[in-house]
Chain A
Amino acid sequence: GAVVSQHPSWVICKSGTSVKIECRSLDFQATTMFWYRQFPKQSLMLMATSNEGSKATYEQGVEKDKFLINHASLTLSTLTVTSAHPEDSSFYICSARVRTSGSQTQYFGPGTRLLVL
């Protein structure tokens, strides 16, 4: 299957700082990528849809000014957590769609663990 990478795999930062997470599609181009957040023992929650060359679409309750998404190329989307606070500590996962025969399949990155102190 298609490979999606994320960087960094984990990050620890002080409260008030900003953190950037990169999501790359390694062997395919992705016009659309998705960002999810997952808290311990919970399911994945969609945060936003990242569209190449246009503004991201955020889910209800997700602050677009706090979670900045940039999809500047067909292989890279970035999520910046601005002025991070301890409650932003979570597991962030991105995904990208790949067109396969007859449909599209969503492939996920390995995730980024964020800990805000």
Chain B
Amino acid sequence: LAKTTQPISMDSYEGQEVNITCSHNNIATNDYITWYQQFPSQGPRFIIQGYKTKVTNEVASLFIPADRKSSTLSLPRVSLSDTAVYYCLVGDNNAGNMLTFGGGTRLMVKP
């Protein structure tokens, strides 16, 4: 399973765009990249998933360079309610492998 490395914490202010980068140097050919958000005492919530290039949904964008050794989660115009821990996970979803959690990034959004 590919190991991921993320910044331990980040600070931002309301209304700003936040970019969280995750390194996964040994990502395998069949691995997908998935990001989750977790609030205290809640289960992780799926944000976005991608394989290559750019994926966008109603809450975030995911940028994946051609070598796929890293990925960047972009949260546009964050609010106080986006304060949470964000996890980047890499795994072969089609093979049915479970996802292994790294340490995550604790995002603090300030007013």
B98 touches A49 (CB 8 A): yes
A43 touches B103 (CB 8 A): yes
**Is A76 at the interface (CB under 8 A from chain B)?**
no
The smallest C-beta distance from B59 to any residue of chain A, in angstroms, reads 11
Contacts A1-B46, A43-B104, A110-B43; A105 near B87 (Cβ below 8 A) = no
Q: What is the size category of the interface that chain A forms with chain B?
A: 20 to 34
B interface footprint on A61-73 (CB within 8 Å = 1, 0 otherwise): 0000000000000
Tell me which residues across on chain A come within 8 A of B36, comparing CB atoms.
108
Contacts A103-B32, A105-B49, A106-B34; A44 near B96 (Cβ below 8 A) = no
Q: How far is the CA of A49 from the CA of B98 in the complex (A)?
A: 8
Tell me which residues across on chain B come within 8 A of A102, comparing CB atoms.
51, 94
Contact of B42 among A4, A104, A110 (CB under 8 A): A110
A108 touches B45 (CB 8 A): yes
Contact of A43 among B34, B87, B96 (CB under 8 A): B87
A interface footprint on B100-111 (CB within 8 Å = 1, 0 otherwise): 111110000000
Tell me which residues across on chain B come within 8 A of A49, comparing CB atoms.
98
B44 touches A44 (CB 8 A): yes
Contact of B100 among A46, A95, A97, A105 (CB under 8 A): A46
